[in-house]
Chains A and B, each alone.
Chain A
């Protein structure tokens, strides 16, 4: 059984810097759909609390806080810390090339939805 520490290295898709975790702020799940007024209690609860928590491929938000200040998204494996790619936050779903890369690396992966 391994147990040590990590110090993630993620490439900021805006400034191209390979940024160390200390330069970044994590922001949990990516591609969230916001539910505001008019949504049901269930929708609102799911949006606020029932966040994805997979052991495996995960899409998440990071901010290059001590760099360019931009939020970006990362596809990362929570079980191995492998990073499949990073991409700008201004998209509705993960880019196709990253999806392809994940499928190649994780044939059993059920897809991002």
Chain B
């Protein structure tokens, strides 16, 4: 059984006992425990079920590479599925439940998959479930979906918050082991701005566990001193619990800091996402131990050897009373020695190598440990827990020589440098024969924006596998990195670690090497996804020869650990099956993030109402107070209507229309784009921008203008006012202000840069109110301050002045067909001015109206709306706006595009009005049907509706739309389709339904 040892544990505080629960069971641990350590201390080796076969799964590792020990952590708004117990710091009250089983962890019905696993090899689903056709969606897939997945789906909104922060540094050091700390010391002493990230809560990495001695001191002491020295350096920042997730181009690094995972609900953000811009990145990310592929290597109790050592040394937890060590390298002996020194039994060290030698082997011999050289494990026995191992010759086919009773197996298949961050941005790898691993190829690093190396690797991450080599490498790499940054490293003695002479490792990819297919179908490569040696061999046999094919076909390395344990082993098996060398087969892709990152952290503070920037007009508060129903317009929110108690939106809109047409309406038009264009060449410039002529507009007057893109399609419209000789004010659509301003600048800066024109987007500098209706003038006259009479301020004129004491600019323009003034006041006066209009307008029947009433009224007048009548494929000529296009100008933006034959054709759909024969409203989006069908069997069309409303003024449905040769077909009856089938008949009419002569707006 696994248990807590009486003594030791360098990371735990035995004085701080914590209580937690697993599957409802109340258990005890200590501060400093990981959840995995605490579970093992409570003899909870079985922690989950595998993805495909629902096999029992135990803790394998002690770090982020853990594939098995994932739990649902917390509940409700704090439920976090797939949480790795090996990196979850224990806290008081922690609740965890195991995953992927029903009804319980111990008795899982899904394990039936395991009994028929023979029928479910890699890719079986591609070969079956083909007939009958409907069964995939309705029978097979639902079963597969239910059986797949791991953690519980959360049901509640996240109770925590996240924040994001920026950091900048010369050198980013990733990894706080001895190599990373030494590199930081070198860079810090040189005066570089250094940021050091460590994913764990503690510093030092493996060295203190492995008993290394540095400069004559225990590694732990050296680490403490190094950390203290770094903390004393002004240019160095240390950040623990912070995982570098991805390296992106131009030195951008994303790191996830677990701020309050170990203290949930304490008010701090759960995570902080760091966006780091580094001059250079040094990855001292260490290495990950590989499992060995022998039959039954997935049974709970089989663990990575170094992880077993971690549990013993760091947390005083013994994974088993009797642990068999199986290895192909000397490092496995460290575990055997650590176990023995902790007073635990090591019945045997099974070493695949024929003649192991080296300092550690000698120490193990001296301790009297039994070494089975040249041997391998034929099979692990046990169900939910290891009971024994059968020993065989590594060189043979698996004939059992001996069986050794044990309750744990510590395996070591060698070490793989963590090259993820090196690879994210294009760094290439080379195969290291000595350690049988891929390591960074210094000749082909990922490149920075200047074409130089962006990343350097150091220590074990660079293939320097022993403490002494790692420190030397870290020193050299950091010095080179500092020099490349243009700084001078200080002369300092590199720390020396006591060398431990290790014998060569021997690559072992299958144990025993001649294993039968029966054994190979019990050798797990990917524990979580249930991919075995036999599956990879099957993929190779079937022609899925590229690593990417094999990976995708078998799902090897696609589990939540992203192949940290399985990729190299799988690759080696594939290479063997293809009879090729490993480097020829290549590596799989290293995709960010290094370990999974919470989505909430990636979204940061941008949640709820501010998940996008929110733009408010100065009158927004009034609208909210007065019950406006808003609609989003770009990032703005505009009142759609102002419903009164008991009113539907439709009723409110009708009321607003009728009131505006018969009395007085106010519209908050502040969102309308306002761009000042000024300079000696401003007129010439506007003549290029607009289809019409703006240079001839007299000062004091307004003119409606259209803008097209270079293709000739309508892009924006609005009223332009000539302010003075050199100044024009261009109104744009609400959504268009920023786009049009950028468009103007584009032309001015990149094409006509010798023209003297300046632009300024003053949209938010002014609040603007449309005062509309027969009583509009009465209201303004009551406020007083300037002459707004027909004579002083005729239609399409503007004037500066004051109204009711407010400084304002009044435009006599109308988008409703009524007597209308659009009044701009400085934004800071907007709210007060709006309220003053309401107060003074009460006697004239004033009401606010929203965007929908605006739409209805402009449709009644046959005014087009960008985005309704236009959709990016419509040219002004389609809309009967030829009058707004200058025939005289040699050039304007869009003119050449409109000359292309498809646009210049007479066969285009053109704007007309429609009136249904029965007075009903044509459905939004309806098409006008034509006879017959096209070559693809689709019903022919000859037009479509673009705006369709019930007109409360005319008390019937009105519509505008585009019809093939429309203006030539006045009086024709056409049919609009409906989605239910059937059609609506309508007569082609003039699009101006209301006040055709414009008498109302000109009064």
| Docked complex Cα distance between A44 and B904 (Å) | 15
Query: A36 within 8 Å of B by Cβ?
Result: yes
Most A Cβ at <10 Å: residue of B250, B589, B899: B250
Question: Do B423 and A2 touch across chains, with their CB atoms under 8 A apart?
Answer: yes
| Docked complex Cα distance between A48 and B899 (Å) | 14
Question: Do A48 and B589 touch across chains, with their CB atoms under 8 A apart?
Answer: no
> Closest approach, in angstroms, between the C-beta of B677 and any C-beta of chain A?
15
> Closest approach, in angstroms, between the C-beta of A36 and any C-beta of chain B?
5
Cβ contact of A90, chosen from B423, B745, B749, cutoff 8 A = B749
Q: How many residues of B contact A (CB 8 A)?
A: 40
Q: Known contacts being A48-B710, A83-B450, is A9 close to B897, with CB within 8 Å?
A: no
Cβ contact of B447, chosen from A27, A38, A82, cutoff 8 A = A82
Question: Do A27 and B895 touch across chains, with their CB atoms under 8 A apart?
Answer: no
- A17-34: contact bitstring with B at CB < 8 Å (1 yes, 0 no)? 000100001010000001
Complex interface: chain A residues within 8 A of B742 (CB): 25, 63, 65
Query: A16 within 8 Å of B by Cβ?
Result: no
- B393-434: contact bitstring with A at CB < 8 Å (1 yes, 0 no)? 000000000000000000000000000000111110000000
> Closest approach, in angstroms, between the C-beta of A23 and any C-beta of chain B?
12
Question: Do B250 and A8 touch across chains, with their CB atoms under 8 A apart?
Answer: yes
6 contacts between A and B (CB under 8 A): A4-B246, A4-B247, A4-B592, A5-B246, A71-B746, A83-B449
Question: Do A6 and B250 touch across chains, with their CB atoms under 8 A apart?
Answer: yes
Q: How large is the interface on A (under 10, 10 to 19, 20 to 34, 35 or more residues)?
A: 20 to 34
Question: Do A7 and B711 touch across chains, with their CB atoms under 8 A apart?
Answer: no
Complex interface: chain B residues within 8 A of A34 (CB): 751
Complex interface: chain A residues within 8 A of B750 (CB): 27, 61, 71, 89-90
Question: Do A82 and B745 touch across chains, with their CB atoms under 8 A apart?
Answer: no
Query: A109 within 8 Å of B by Cβ?
Result: no
Tell me the dominant secondary structure on chain A's binding face.
loop
Q: Known contacts being A20-B277, A37-B899, is A4 close to B890, with CB within 8 Å?
A: no
Query: B248 within 8 Å of A by Cβ?
Result: yes
| Docked complex Cα distance between A9 and B548 (Å) | 32
Residue of A nearest to B548 (CB): A1
Question: Do A9 and B277 touch across chains, with their CB atoms under 8 A apart?
Answer: yes
Most B Cβ at <10 Å: residue of A1, A39, A41: A1
Query: B20 within 8 Å of A by Cβ?
Result: no
| Docked complex Cα distance between A6 and B448 (Å) | 11
Complex interface: chain A residues within 8 A of B423 (CB): 2
Query: A99 within 8 Å of B by Cβ?
Result: no
Interface residues of B in 215-249 (CB under 8 A from A): 246-249
Question: Do A37 and B896 touch across chains, with their CB atoms under 8 A apart?
Answer: yes
Residue of B nearest to A84 (CB): B451
Question: Do B591 and A4 touch across chains, with their CB atoms under 8 A apart?
Answer: yes
Tell me the dominant secondary structure on chain B's binding face.
mixed
Query: B909 within 8 Å of A by Cβ?
Result: no
| Docked complex Cα distance between A37 and B251 (Å) | 46
| Docked complex Cα distance between A89 and B747 (Å) | 11
Complex interface: chain A residues within 8 A of B548 (CB): 1
Complex interface: chain A residues within 8 A of B249 (CB): 5-8, 81
Complex interface: chain B residues within 8 A of A1 (CB): 548, 589
Complex interface: chain B residues within 8 A of A90 (CB): 749-750, 753
Query: B849 within 8 Å of A by Cβ?
Result: no
Q: Known contacts being A81-B250, A89-B749, A90-B753, is A5 close to B592, with CB within 8 Å?
A: yes
Query: A69 within 8 Å of B by Cβ?
Result: yes
Question: Do B250 and A7 touch across chains, with their CB atoms under 8 A apart?
Answer: yes
Question: Do A6 and B248 touch across chains, with their CB atoms under 8 A apart?
Answer: yes
Complex interface: chain A residues within 8 A of B746 (CB): 27, 63, 71
| Docked complex Cα distance between A38 and B899 (Å) | 10
Query: A51 within 8 Å of B by Cβ?
Result: no
Query: B900 within 8 Å of A by Cβ?
Result: yes
Query: B527 within 8 Å of A by Cβ?
Result: no
Residue of B nearest to A80 (CB): B447
Interface residues of B in 275-291 (CB under 8 A from A): 275, 277
Complex interface: chain B residues within 8 A of A71 (CB): 745-746, 749-750
Question: Do B449 and A9 touch across chains, with their CB atoms under 8 A apart?
Answer: yes
Complex interface: chain B residues within 8 A of A41 (CB): 900
Complex interface: chain A residues within 8 A of B745 (CB): 63, 69, 71
Complex interface: chain A residues within 8 A of B749 (CB): 70-71, 89-90
Query: A105 within 8 Å of B by Cβ?
Result: yes
Question: Do B424 and A4 touch across chains, with their CB atoms under 8 A apart?
Answer: yes
Question: Do B451 and A82 touch across chains, with their CB atoms under 8 A apart?
Answer: yes
Most A Cβ at <10 Å: residue of B427, B449, B900: B449
> Closest approach, in angstroms, between the C-beta of A103 and any C-beta of chain B?
13
Query: A112 within 8 Å of B by Cβ?
Result: no
Query: B891 within 8 Å of A by Cβ?
Result: yes
Question: Do B589 and A36 touch across chains, with their CB atoms under 8 A apart?
Answer: no
Residue of A nearest to B247 (CB): A4
Cβ contact of B248, chosen from A5, A37, A48, A65, cutoff 8 A = A5
Question: Do B251 and A36 touch across chains, with their CB atoms under 8 A apart?
Answer: no
Query: B590 within 8 Å of A by Cβ?
Result: yes
| Docked complex Cα distance between A61 and B451 (Å) | 21
| Docked complex Cα distance between A2 and B425 (Å) | 6
| Docked complex Cα distance between A82 and B750 (Å) | 24
| Docked complex Cα distance between A75 and B203 (Å) | 43
Complex interface: chain B residues within 8 A of A82 (CB): 447, 449-451
> Closest approach, in angstroms, between the C-beta of B160 and any C-beta of chain A?
25
Residue of B nearest to A9 (CB): B250
Residue of B nearest to A35 (CB): B896
Query: B252 within 8 Å of A by Cβ?
Result: yes
